């Protein structure tokens, strides 16, 4: 088998778990993926089989799209729901403006989204795979070590507010399209800091990993079932088909 399976990664699976499962199901030795997703995240995870693994490099630099939920008023050490709670503050925003009680500035979430749209600088979180002096940041973070990280330029193409759920710790759901290298949990943390009450990423679904969309993704349950009945190849997309499609769109043909 050679090609790509566009997986809808389930929550609590690592990207490696998905690759290992598909390797076992397909009996193909060479299996890899592009664009790692954290265990808590769901959504688009392209998995490459056989000769297609040689093409992974062509799919690493594309834009990404996510639907994210941020919980206001609670900060965690990992900036997401998997981490340890670091602070818990009351956050009573006005429904129309999401303005936490006691803020002196305009706390409109829409205006904050505008502030974070375009080319911006983002400091990689300590709990990330970024290397500094040969060491992964998350390995240092697990030892309680914090080091200086240089901000990196990223591009937030768009942010759209989808839902606002009131409560002691309001939940804000939004859609974001961004460049490679964007940390959505860092984005959420920065927005929370600007709101004055902090925030963490409580849910994340990747809906786009250029050129793949969530509507093309196949659930793991379906993948397992197809493998059992000998029809796994029916969902494998030839890598040549994808690459030729990308070339056509770039040339306008």
- Per residue in 177-192, pLDDT tens? 999 999 999 999 999 8
Tens-place pLDDT, residues 76-129: 999 999 889 988 877 655 434 444 443 334 446 777 888 899 999 998 887 777
Q: Where in the chain is the domain with CATH 3.30.2350.10?
A: 64-208
- The contacts of residue 217 (CB under 8 Å, 6+ apart) are 6, 7, 8, 43, 44, 45
For residue 137, the SS3 value is helix
Q: Mind listing the pLDDT tens digit for each residue in 132-142?
A: 777 777 777 78
Are 33 and 9 within 8 A, CB to CB? no
pLDDT for 136 equals 78
Helix (H) / strand (E) containing 186: helix 184-195
The pTM for the full model equals 0.87
Q: What percentage of the chain reaches a pLDDT higher than 70?
A: 89
What average pLDDT is seen over the chain?
A: 87
d(CA 30, CA 53): 7
pLDDT tens for residues 196-238? Answer: 889 999 999 999 999 999 999 999 999 999 999 999 999 999 9
Task: Tell me the average pLDDT across 54-79.
Answer: 94
Choosing from 38, 89, 193, 194, the catalytic residue is 38
Identify the CATH number of the domain defined by range 64-208. Answer: 3.30.2350.10
Instruction: Give the tens place of pLDDT for each residue, 6-44.
Output: 999 999 999 999 999 999 999 999 999 998 899 999 999
CA distances from 71 to 80, 87, 163 (A): 9, 12, 12
38 is catalytic: yes
């Amino acid at each position: 088998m050679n090609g790509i399976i566009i997986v809808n990664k389930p929550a609590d699976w690592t990207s490696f778990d998905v690759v290992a499962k598909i390797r076992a199901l397909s009996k193909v030795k060479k299996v890899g993926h592009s664009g790692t997703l954290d265990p808590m995240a769901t959504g688009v995870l392209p998995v490459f089989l056989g000769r297609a693994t040689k093409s992974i490099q062509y799919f690493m630099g594309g834009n990404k799209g996510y639907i994210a939920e941020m919980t206001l008023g609670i900060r965690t050490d990992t900036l997401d729901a998997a981490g340890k709670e670091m602070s818990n503050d009351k956050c009573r925003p006005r429904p129309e403006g999401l303005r936490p009680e006691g803020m002196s500035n305009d706390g409109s979430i829409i205006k904050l989204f505008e502030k974070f749209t375009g080319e911006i600088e983002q400091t990689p979180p300590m709990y990330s795979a970024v290397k500094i002096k040969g060491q992964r940041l998350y390995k240092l973070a697990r030892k309680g070590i914090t080091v200086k990280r240089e901000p990196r330029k990223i591009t937030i193409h768009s942010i759209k507010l989808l839902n606002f759920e009131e409560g002691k710790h309001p939940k804000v759901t939004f859609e974001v399209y961004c460049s490679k290298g964007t940390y959505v949990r860092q984005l959420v943390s920065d927005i929370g800091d600007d709101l004055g009450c902090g925030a963490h990423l409580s849910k994340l679904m990747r809906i786009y990993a250029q050129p793949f969309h969530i509507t093309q993704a196949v659930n793991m349950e379906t993948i397992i079932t197809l493998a059992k009945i000998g029809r796994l190849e029916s969902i494998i997309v030839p890598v040549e088909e994808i690459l030729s499609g990308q070339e056509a769109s770039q040339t306008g043909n």
